């Protein structure tokens, strides 16, 4: 400001000198008038020049382009520099703010949960790709569309019109279809002036797990309640009625059968729990394939003798490729034995008296070890095959219980196969029999 005042003083002095010069040239006697005129002219020129610089700065401010800032000096030069610095700081702040917003939206876009922003008219302001896929919304086309016009599910409509937002609702997702259910949880969160945030989440797996848990508890309860009822009935009979020794022996034998059934169920449940909770087996343990097959054969023949006493005996055959004469399976011997024993015992239970059961170990064309158990039982309808490894899933419940099955055998086989990197293949034809194969990769067995 001082420099600006000094510049005006200097201009006035220059104008006075100019007036004095004019007065001498014209030999004027009124020197004061010339001095005043010269001073005024100098001040006017200074004002015009200052106004010109001011107009340049104002024009630049209207354009707002930092690259075209006027190069000037003095007060207006200082103003232009300060404004330019402020604008640069503001641009950096805006750029940083835009980058934070972009990062935030990218993070929401990468979220496994859906996010939808609604304005005060329930119109879509923004949604991420997850929500679009779950609810069938186009994130570009449907912007500014009312969510109620796009989502016609009665559950969703009722939820959006309700005042209670404390609990989410669960509805069918966009890709829901028969045999492949998709369940989506939606919850509202009001914010701002009438705006709403919708959060969506795929809860299909959670609902399926909950349904499996309920079924599991119900099945276990049913499986245990039946033998317990029988046992308690026989105990009460033995306590209250005088029985002949033969009757007592028969009742005690039935009680033993039911107790053994419960024991088998508990052992299978413990086996499943151990398989699910322990790490995958390494390669430091092994079992001979021949030994594995022989033990299963002995167990199967013993079981067959009990189930089909006084009937035509079942026919057993075991075989293996010559290359597998000394082959070893690498893994947990107890688990491998349990898996193959379950397959063989199932074949015994479901093959009628006089039927044929074959256990074969072979090498496939792609150098995989295949342990195959085949039978000549009634076979399995194709619609049941996909569910055979579910816990307690039975095709013929009464027959399975009569033969002593727990409904957990194939579930155990599946878990053992998964833990050893193997696959369980099931083939069956109604009226002709079934075959169950455990196929192991090359790294899970040794030929010597």
- The DSSP output letter for 261 is H
Neighbouring residues of 404: CB distance < 8 A, sequence distance ≥ 6: 260, 261, 264, 307, 349
> What does the alpha-carbon distance between residue 429 and residue 422 come to, in Å, rounded to a whole number?
24
Looking at residue 47, its pLDDT comes to 66
Q: Mark residue 136 as left, alpha or beta (left: phi above 0; alpha: psi -120 to 50; beta: remaining).
A: left
Residue 422, burial from CB neighbour count under 10 angstroms (0-12, 13-18, 19+): buried
| Strand arrangement of the beta sheet that strand 445-446 belongs to | 286-288, 328-330, 445-446
Residues 41 and 179 in one domain: no
Domain containing residue 249:
207-278
Residues 121 and 23 in one domain: no
Residues 145 and 44 in one domain: no
Residues 305 and 422 in one domain: yes
CATH code, 135: 3.30.450.20
Question: Of the residues 52, 76, 104, which one is the last residue of a structural domain?
Answer: 104
Residues 44 and 94 in one domain: yes
Question: Of the residues 66, 89, 104, which one is the last residue of a structural domain?
Answer: 104
pTM for the whole structure: 0.57
Looking at residue 410, its pLDDT comes to 86
Residues 226 and 273 in one domain: yes
Residues 288 and 369 in one domain: yes
Q: What three-state secondary structure class fits 153?
A: coil
Strand pairing category for 315-320 and 356-363: parallel
Total count of domains within the chain: 4
Residues 194 and 49 in one domain: no
Looking at residue 50, its pLDDT comes to 65
> What does the alpha-carbon distance between residue 33 and residue 197 come to, in Å, rounded to a whole number?
79
CATH code, 324: 3.30.565.10
Residues 267 and 129 in one domain: no
Question: Of the residues 79, 104, 129, which one is the last residue of a structural domain?
Answer: 104
> Tens-of-pLDDT digits for all 448 residues of the chain?
455 555 556 655 655 555 555 555 555 455 556 556 556 666 666 666 667 766 766 676 677 665 666 666 666 666 666 777 777 787 788 888 888 888 888 888 888 889 999 999 989 998 898 888 888 888 888 899 999 888 888 888 888 888 888 888 898 888 887 778 888 899 999 988 889 999 999 888 888 888 777 777 777 776 677 778 777 887 887 778 787 788 778 778 878 877 877 787 787 778 777 777 777 788 888 888 888 888 888 888 888 887 887 788 888 888 888 888 788 888 888 888 888 988 988 888 888 888 899 988 888 888 888 999 999 888 888 888 888 888 777 776 554 445 556 677 888 889 888 888 889 999 988 888 899 999 998 888 888 7
Residues 198 and 211 in one domain: no
- Which tokens sit at 393? 């899933």
| Strand arrangement of the beta sheet that strand 169-172 belongs to | 124-127, 114-118, 195-202, 183-191, 169-172
Residues 295 and 356 in one domain: yes
Residues 430 and 301 in one domain: yes
CATH code, 268: 1.10.287.130
């Amino acid at each position: 400001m001082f420099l600006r005042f000094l510049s005006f003083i200097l201009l006035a002095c220059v104008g006075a000198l100019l007036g004095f010069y004019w007065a001498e040239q014209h030999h004027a006697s009124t020197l004061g008038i010339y001095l005043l005129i010269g001073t005024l002219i100098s001040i006017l020129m200074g004002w015009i020049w200052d106004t010109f610089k001011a107009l340049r700065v104002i024009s630049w401010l209207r354009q707002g382009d930092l690259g075209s800032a006027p190069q000037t000096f003095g007060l207006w030069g200082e103003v232009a520099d300060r404004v330019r610095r402020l604008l640069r700081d503001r641009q950096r702040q805006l750029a940083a703010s835009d980058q934070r917003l972009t990062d935030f939206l990218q993070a929401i876009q990468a979220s496994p949960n859906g996010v939808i922003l609604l304005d005060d008219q329930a119109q879509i302001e923004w949604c991420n790709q997850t929500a679009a896929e779950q609810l069938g919304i186009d994130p570009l086309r449907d912007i500014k569309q009312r969510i109620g016009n796009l989502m016609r599910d009665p559950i969703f409509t009722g939820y959006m019109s309700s005042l209670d937002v404390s609990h989410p609702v669960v509805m069918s997702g966009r890709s829901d279809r028969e045999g492949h259910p998709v369940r989506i949880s939606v919850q509202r969160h009001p914010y701002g002036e009438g705006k709403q945030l919708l959060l969506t989440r795929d809860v299909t797996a959670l609902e399926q797990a909950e349904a499996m848990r309920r079924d599991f508890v119900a099945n276990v309860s049913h499986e245990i309640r039946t033998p317990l009822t029988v046992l308690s009935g026989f105990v009460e009979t033995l306590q209250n009625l005088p029985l002949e020794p033969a009757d007592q022996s028969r009742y005690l034998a039935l009680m033993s059968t039911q107790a053994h059934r419960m024991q088998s169920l508990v052992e299978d449940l413990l086996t499943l729990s151990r398989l699910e909770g322990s790490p995958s087996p390494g390669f430091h343990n092994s079992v001979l394939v021949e030994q594995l097959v022989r033990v299963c054969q002995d167990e199967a023949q013993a079981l067959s003798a009990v189930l089909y006493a006084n009937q035509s005996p079942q026919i057993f055959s075991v075989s293996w490729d010559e290359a597998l004469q000394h082959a070893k399976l690498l893994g947990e011997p107890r688990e491998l034995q349990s898996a193959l024993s379950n397959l063989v015992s199932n074949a015994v239970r479901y093959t009628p008296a006089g039927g044929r059961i074959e256990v074969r170990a072979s090498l496939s064309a792609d150098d995989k070890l295949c342990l195959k158990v085949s039978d000549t039982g009634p076979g399995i309808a194709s619609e049941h095959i996909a569910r055979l490894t579910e816990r307690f899933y039975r095709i013929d419940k009464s027959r399975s219980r009569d033969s002593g099955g727990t409904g957990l055998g194939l579930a155990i086989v599946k878990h053992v196969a998964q833990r050893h990197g193997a696959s369980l293949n099931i083939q069956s034809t109604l009226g002709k029999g079934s075959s169950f194969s455990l196929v192991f990769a090359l790294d899970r067995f040794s030929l010597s």
